Structure 1
Amino acid sequence: MILTHIGGPTVLIELDGWHLLTDPTFDPAGGHYDFGWGTSSDKLAGPALGLRDLPHIDAVLLSHDRHGDNLDAAGRQLLPAVGTVLTTVSGARRLGLPNALGMAPGEVTVLQAANLPPLEVTATPAHHGPPLSGPVVGDVVGFAVRRAGEEEVRLWVTGDTVLHRSLRRVAARLRVDVALVHVGGVRFAVTGPVRYTMTGRRAVELVALTRPRVAVPVHYEGWSHFRSGRPAVEEALALAPSDVRHRVRWLIPGEPYRSTD
């Protein structure tokens, strides 16, 4: 598997000949984005790769469509040209694309394409905030990708989520090779101390529960509403057992990383 972190939650994954892309964000830096209910954010860094730098994308793993830090204007332009867009059930309806497929947590779909081995994708639970925040922030979903017929998860994308009971159960049960862990500790002035994604401490706790061979933090830089970046993750890692610390890899945006390195 080869991973290229493009920025924020956006990662290009090359797996068994497939080209997968998570949460497409390709707008330049400098934009202001309204997330609704009095919340907003500024984009502070542009993507390490542009749309023209991408290969043909076989499938997009879109955790949710309602927030510009996970799907922006340029990212939306890409979606009609990809093979399949996997996202939430409500997100697929809003996108209105023939290649968009909505998935609820626990549902399984098999990706198939000519001359490529089939991939089995299971939707995993994600809560983009504390209890009762669902009507405000909307649905979010994660993705566990396997080779068809195998038990081990080759790739797990948590999506934007806090660490909650259902996610803990999934984390303890899955056998994961590579995990993309959304961090950021998102917080807004209008809602005070409430967090909408995992802090560094919670992300390290999730890694300790799952124990993937490789854990890659994403969604922690490049936006003004991220409040728990790399220093917070590294601070939590310093207190974690060495067995947890050695699993984490920080990717350099734009530089391919082979997960066996």
Structure 2
Amino acid sequence: MQPTITTIGGPTALLELGGLRILTDPTFDPPGDHPVGPLTLTKTIGPALSHTDVGQVDLVLLSHDQHPDNLDRLGRQVMSAAPLTLSTPEAAERTGVTPMHPWRHHDVGGVRVTAVPALHGPPGCEPIVGQVTGFVLTGDGLPTVYISGDNASLECVELIAERYPAVDVALLFGGAVRTPLIDERLTLNAADMVIAARLLKARYVVPLHVEGWTHFTENQSDVHAAFSEAGLDDLLVSPTPGRPAPLMPVR
């Protein structure tokens, strides 16, 4: 069966790959305010599919649990119903999910999930923003898929590219996130997404985490403009939200 992707909103996407239904960073709450310590993050766009529309999944890949734009109330319900969730050691302590350290792998059916480095902001930001992880999915006869999570570090991308010199599809979380707590980007901006795609030699790029929250300073249009200016329009895969699309379209 051809691998597919259904984008749902923010960082949330459903992959059908290797006979598995794999969900990234579950966010299914309606628009509204989400208090996070001294901050309030505001969601402006609801999900393209409800948590009940998505149904049962086999695996949740959670980049981190501490921010509601990556895991919200309804997302936690979906995660708790899934037989397996992989995430950071910090998330495992708080939620009971299965912890993954960088470069360790976990096999689920015919899919190998490898945790890869990610940094949710500038060096030294971890005490404020916490741990975050990315993932690489591989398997016999399957495309190699990189899921960045809320990574802002091109140095991390370089390390991943050294180990995976042929990434077929890169799910890059963007949005150039900023908050008052750290006056630097906490995720990739559109220009860095272009650099990441080149470092990974990606055949296709799916932009995620680029719409739906007021603390995102860039959107889907910025991503398309950056890839167009770089002459890389043909790399972008931007499916209609809520509708399955080929993970690797025939062009």
SS at match of 1:83: coil
Identity %: 39
Q: Which runs of 4+ in 1 moved over 2 A?
A: 189-192
By how many angstroms is 1:259 displaced? 2.2
Partner of residue 65, structure 2: 65
Matches within 5 A, 1:86-105: 86-96=86-96, 100-105=97-102
Aligned amino acid, residue 101 of structure 1: T
Aligned amino acid, residue 218 of structure 2: S
Aligned amino acid, residue 120 of structure 1: R
By how many angstroms is 1:42 displaced? 0.3
**Inter-CA distance 78–93: structure 2 relative to 1 (3 Å threshold):** same
Partner Cα distance (2:19, 2:55) in 1: 11
Q: Deviations over 1:33-65 (max 9, x none)?
A: 1233x3331000111111111232000000000
C-alpha contact (below 8 Å) 1:163/1:206 kept by paired residues = no
Matches within 5 A, 1:6-155: 6-29=8-31, 31-36=32-37, 38-96=38-96, 100-112=97-109, 118-147=110-139, 154-155=144-145
**Inter-CA distance 166–191: structure 2 relative to 1 (3 Å threshold):** closer
Gaps of 5+ in 1: 113-117
Match of 2:217 among 223, 227, 234: 227
Q: Deviations over 1:104-148 (max 9, x none)?
A: 111111113xxxxx2111101100010111010000001101116
Q: Deviations over 1:56-102 (max 9, x none)?
A: 20000000000000000001111221121000011011102xxx210
By how many angstroms is 1:153 displaced? 5.3
Q: Deviations over 1:176-211 (max 9, x none)?
A: 12211000000123433x110000001111011112
TM-score, scaled relative to structure 2: 0.93
Aligned amino acid, residue 214 of structure 2: S
1:191 and 2:193 matched: no
Partner of residue 115, structure 1: none
Match of 2:229 among 214, 239, 246: 239
Aligned amino acid, residue 236 of structure 1: A
Larger strand share, 1 or 2: 1
**Inter-CA distance 130–250: structure 2 relative to 1 (3 Å threshold):** same
Aligned amino acid, residue 40 of structure 1: T
**Inter-CA distance 260–162: structure 2 relative to 1 (3 Å threshold):** closer
Aligned amino acid, residue 214 of structure 1: Y
Aligned amino acid, residue 47 of structure 2: P
Gaps of 5+ in 2: none
TM-score, scaled relative to structure 1: 0.89
C-alpha contact (below 8 Å) 2:121/2:153 kept by paired residues = no
Partner Cα distance (1:252, 1:40) in 2: 29
C-alpha contact (below 8 Å) 1:127/1:164 kept by paired residues = no
C-alpha contact (below 8 Å) 2:119/2:156 kept by paired residues = no
By how many angstroms is 1:157 displaced? 0.5
Partner Cα distance (2:155, 2:101) in 1: 17
**Inter-CA distance 173–246: structure 2 relative to 1 (3 Å threshold):** farther
Aligned amino acid, residue 24 of structure 2: T
SS at match of 2:67: coil
After superposition, the CA RMSD in angstroms is 1.6
C-alpha contact (below 8 Å) 2:157/2:199 kept by paired residues = no
